[in-house]
């Protein structure tokens, strides 16, 4: 009997936003794997640290900083081999995912390598999208709205085309792209009612107007939310 | 001291997908409100029924079936008054929301009526989007993908335009629109790799290819997921 691999969504950051299901599976997992930077602690592990037990085997998937943006496939090749060795030995492996595993999550690179050979189950969780909307008090979309999730890493022409067509948008992966995106939203007349959110659900959470943001400080995990009607419920 | 109103996301259906935070707030709320059909029981209440206590005041917001699709503003006017009377009396009110309160949720109509006068907080939860992706084993989007949430209630021209432009899409609010949307996806060459999901996370959950779906049976709360690359991680 081979083990089962879980893509275990542990939420956007606040430990209290974990689901009962994720907590049950976490506690029962003999092996707990998680992404971690080359040098430093894992954000996903930090969310659930209070519930880990010393008898659990931990497996840090060390992802070089640059690879977090341009996934280095060799990292995932090796991680998939490491996880497979536990699965082959009959041990279930819970892979911790910050944010929803299938919403721009790096877990899908492991899923692509493991799901044909092993039983693989996903536990969905609170995504950054819902967390940011809640933090900003900003309803995302209603009725016949089209809501587009748009990575800030797109080139200007693509961003302009996507944002011109949508009723509502969440612009993700800001980081170094913040200033460029803000300029573009100003040109499109979409900046005035947009909200900027970082670290949603954490004690360091911040919600600002675009004009208040210091573009040098926007982290990669921040988001801009906007709606053409300003308030979705109108 | 007036009470506080909570937009309390209780997840897509599986009671185990509630968050620890939502459960804590639910148990502490003196008043629990929830949408319910004219005649019958509330889906959102059903998710959390096991944790309700007889000392809690319950407030069913009766929404006529037609109004669920075209919100009857008078229903929300009256519900906001009923909730406000508890808040004015100093009682917190938890409004149960099936799925994320700000992701096409009807809670925003109450939020629009109450949030200027009262302290209003949102507890995000697992959305139908994450639940359906997990059920189908279908990663939604990765890297530079634009993911569009598209209501099936749009007219054909709008649907065609939106779906032609996206890398990945979730088509929501299917119901009576299923056959029309399927035909359109076939014409656009997007049907072959699309997934149909209904009742995600419930015992009655079903994942099908579009060609297998009986269009007369698709419920309003079902979803089609598709990705241009077929597999997002490639």
Buried b / exposed e along B50-76 (16+ C-beta atoms within 10 A): eeeeeebeebbbebeeebeeebeeebb
Q: Which of B110, B118, B91 is nearest to B34 (CA)?
A: B110
- Asked if A154 lies within 8 A of B144 by C-beta distance, the reply is yes
The mean pLDDT value for B93-109 works out to: 95
Q: How close is the nearest chain A Cα to the Cα of B182, in Å?
A: 18
Q: For residue B130, which residues of chain A lie inside 8 Å, CB to CB? A: 9, 100, 102-103, 124-125, 127
pLDDT value at position B233?
78
- Which residues pair with residue A227 across a beta bridge? A168
In the predicted structure, residue B157 carries a pLDDT above the cut 90: yes
pLDDT attached to residue B183: 97
Residues of chain A positioned with their CB less than 8 A from the CB of B103: 129-130, 133, 140-141
| Cα gap B75→B56, rounded to integer Å | 23
Are A103 and B137 inside 8 Å of each other by CB?
Answer: no
Would the pLDDT of B69 be above 80?
no
Residue B206's pLDDT is 96
Per residue of chain A (234 residues), give pLDDT as tens: 999 999 999 999 999 999 999 999 999 999 999 999 888 899 999 999 999 999 999 999 998 766 555 667 889 999 999 999 999 999 999 999 999 999 999 999 999 999 999 999 999 999 999 999 999 999 999 999 999 999 999 999 999 999 988 899 999 999 999 999 999 999 999 998 899 999 999 999 999 999 999 999 999 889 999 999 878 877
Q: Describe the strand order of the beta sheet including B31-37 as a list of residue ranges.
A: B57-63, B31-37, B93-97, B4-9, B119-123
Are A57 and A90 spatial neighbours (Cβ–Cβ below 8 Å)? no
Full-model pTM: 0.96
Domain boundaries, chain A: 4-123, 128-227
> Min CA distance, A165 vs chain B (Å)?
8
**pLDDT for the residue numbered A165:** 81
pLDDT of residue B145: 94
Amino acid A68: pLDDT: 58
Chain B residues in contact with A123 by the CB 8 A cut-off are 134
Nearest CA in chain A to B106: A142
Which top CATH class is A4-123? alpha beta
- What CA dihedral angle connects A185, A148, A156 and A213, to 10 degrees? 40
- Which residue, A229, A133, A132, A225, is CA-closest to A170? A225
Judge whether B12 and B222 are in contact, CB under 8 Å. Answer: no
Count CB atoms within 10 A of the CB of residue B206: 15
In this complex, how many residue pairs, one in chain A and one in chain B, have their CB atoms less than 8 Å apart? 186
- Token code pair at residue A157: 């022409």
| pLDDT recorded at residue B70 | 60
Q: Which residue has the tokens 């967390």?
A: A131
Q: Which phi and psi angles does A27 have, rounded to 5°?
A: -65, -30
**Position B231 pLDDT exceeds 90:** no
- Please, what's the b/e burial string for B163-172 (b: 16 or more CB within 10 A of its CB; e: otherwise)? bebbbbbbbb
- Cβ contacts of B71 on chain A, cutoff 8 Å: 143
Determine the pLDDT at residue B63. 82
The closest CB to that of A17, out of B12, B19, B138, belongs to B19
Q: Is it the case that residue B234 has pLDDT exceeding 90?
A: no
- In the block, tokens 């939420």 appear at A11
**Domain over B128-227 is classified CATH 3.40.50.2300:** no
């Amino acid at each position: 009997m081979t083990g089962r691999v879980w893509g275990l969504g542990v939420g956007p950051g606040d430990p209290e936003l974990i689901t009962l299901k994720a907590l049950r599976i976490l506690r029962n997992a003999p092996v707990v794997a998680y992404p971690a930077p080359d040098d430093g602690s894992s954000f996903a592990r930090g969310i659930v640290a209070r519930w880990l037990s010393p008898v659990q085997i931990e497996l840090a998937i060390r992802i070089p900083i640059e690879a977090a943006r341009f996934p280095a496939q060799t990292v995932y090749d090796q991680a998939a081999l490491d996880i497979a060795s536990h699965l082959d030995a009959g041990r279930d492996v819970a892979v911790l995912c910050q944010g929803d595993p299938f919403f721009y999550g790096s877990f899908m690179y492991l899923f692509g390598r493991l799901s044909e050979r092993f039983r693989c189950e996903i536990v969905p969780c609170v995504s950054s999208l819902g967390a940011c909307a809640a933090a900003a008090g900003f309803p995302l979309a209603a009725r016949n709205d089209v809501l587009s999730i748009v990575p800030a890493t797109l080139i200007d022409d693509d961003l302009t085309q996507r944002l011109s067509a949508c009723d509502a948008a969440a612009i993700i992966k800001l980081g170094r792209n913040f200033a460029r995106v803000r300029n573009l939203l100003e040109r499109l007349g979409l900046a005035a009612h947009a909200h900027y959110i970082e670290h949603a659900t954490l004690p360091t959470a911040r919600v600002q107007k675009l004009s208040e943001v210091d573009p040098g400080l926007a982290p990669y995990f921040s988001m801009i939310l906007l709606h053409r009607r300003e308030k979705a419920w109108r």
